[in-house]
Amino acid sequence: MNLKGRDFLKLLDYTPEEIEYLVDLSADLKFMKKKGVLVDKLRGKNVALIFEKTSTRTRCSFEVAAHDLGMGTTYLDPKGSQIGKKESIADTARVLGRMFDGIEYRGFEQSKVEELAKHAEVPVWNGLTNEFHPTQMIADLLTIKEKLGRIKGVKVVYMGDARYNMANSWMVTCAKMGMHLTLCSNKNYFPDPELVKQCKDIAAKTGGSITLTEDPIEGTKDKDVVYTDVWVSMGEPDEAWVERIRDLSPYQVNKEVMDRAGKDAIFMHCLPAYHDLKTEIGKEKGEQFGFEALEVTDEVFESEQSVVFDEAENRMHTIKAIMAATLGAF
Ligand code: CP
Ligand code: NVA
């Protein structure tokens, strides 16, 4: 498998074999890290990390993974660069492409990261856009493989906001990998029908399936993975909370949902999560709307079935694999 020079913008651009290769390479790199074996095969290289939205996991994963591989990093924060304000994406790409060996970009529209990749002569990695979060998906697949021992045929239910980056990414992933996805949400939050069709066509060839339902009882029965994400994503207006809580609270992941999924089901969340009132926003919205938690209850989040911190750790090992493969270390 040779991924040298490839961008990593969305999983639609990758074959099932390439995706599985990245998952397995991540597992190998994780094993080496745990054994204390240095894999600094990219010594002398440098990567730029552009964040137009905030981050904990993705930024730290890119920084730690780059350092482990022997690379230098430069972090450009949401305010600290000229991007988009004084300099176009195309010009930025041509400048950074001359100085760095790879560029990570977290921002708003997918078209921006695609534009960056078009004009940069080095690999560009999507660290999250409104439409897709592909590095998260490799971490989620690694976590599923570690916990369940398989990927193909796994039954996933995604609860909550089904028209944004995480649900879109899950549709593509399940379609490509022959998994069964149920998107369980209010119909006003169903994904773009064109992407649904595209994913259903792919799933028809891989043995996977995509189902959309508004029924949280039927939709959560007998599943291997229960997944959710925040109801209001980064960059969305504060006013959205009122409608989201009204429309999406029937899709909260709670103990009844996990019981219906089954005792062997695992709970996953890309994080950060509003599972209690211990964050500024969680406290404000919880008190305003009379909730103890939002998209997932604390009981589920802290339960034995929850694998969210293994999933978060896997962000680092998988981002390392993505950089290593596309920069030609393997
Ligand atoms: N899951 C994820 O992307 O987390 P951050 O926003 O902290 O990077
Ligand atoms: N949907 C969330 C994902 C965070 C990792 C957001 O875009 O804010």
pLDDT in tens, the chain (330 residues): 999 999 999 999 999 999 999 999 999 999 999 999 999 999 999 999 999 999 999 999 999 999 999 999 999 998 877 787 889 999 999 999 999 999 999 999 999 999 999 999 999 999 999 999 999 999 999 999 999 999 999 999 999 999 999 999 999 999 999 999 999 999 999 999 999 999 999 999 999 999 999 999 999 999 999 999 999 999 999 999 999 999 999 999 999 999 999 999 999 999 999 999 999 999 999 899 999 999 999 999 999 999 999 999 999 999 999 999 999 998
Element (H, E) at 199: helix 193-206
Whether ligand 1 lies within 6 angstroms of the CB of 147 is answered as: no
- Which residue's CA is the closest to the ligand 1 atom numbered 6? 55
Look up the pTM and report it: 0.98
Of 206, 131, 134, 143, the residue nearest 175 (C-alpha): 206
For residue 56, the CA-to-ligand 1 centroid distance in Å is 6
Element (H, E) at 73: strand 72-76
For residue 132, the CA-to-ligand 1 centroid distance in Å is 13
Which entry of 59, 180, 315, 317 is annotated as an active-site residue? 315
The pLDDT assigned to 83 comes to: 85
Per the annotation, the verdict on 6 as an active-site residue is no
- Which residue's CA is the closest to the ligand 1 atom numbered 4? 57
The pLDDT assigned to 19 comes to: 98
Q: CB under 6 Å to ligand 2: residues?
A: 128, 164-166, 229-230, 233-234, 270
The pLDDT assigned to 233 comes to: 98
What angle, rounded to 10 degrees, do the helices at 193-206 and 165-177 form? 20
Instruction: Using the atom order of ligand 2, give the atom closest to the CA of residue 57.
Output: 5
How many angstroms separate the most distant Cα atoms in the chain?
Answer: 54
Choosing from 106, 130, 238, 270 the residue with most ligand 2 atoms within 8 A of its CB, the one to mutate for a pocket test is: 270
Which entry of 59, 106, 180, 244 is annotated as an active-site residue? 106
Whether ligand 1 lies within 6 angstroms of the CB of 111 is answered as: no
The pLDDT assigned to 80 comes to: 76
The pLDDT assigned to 82 comes to: 79
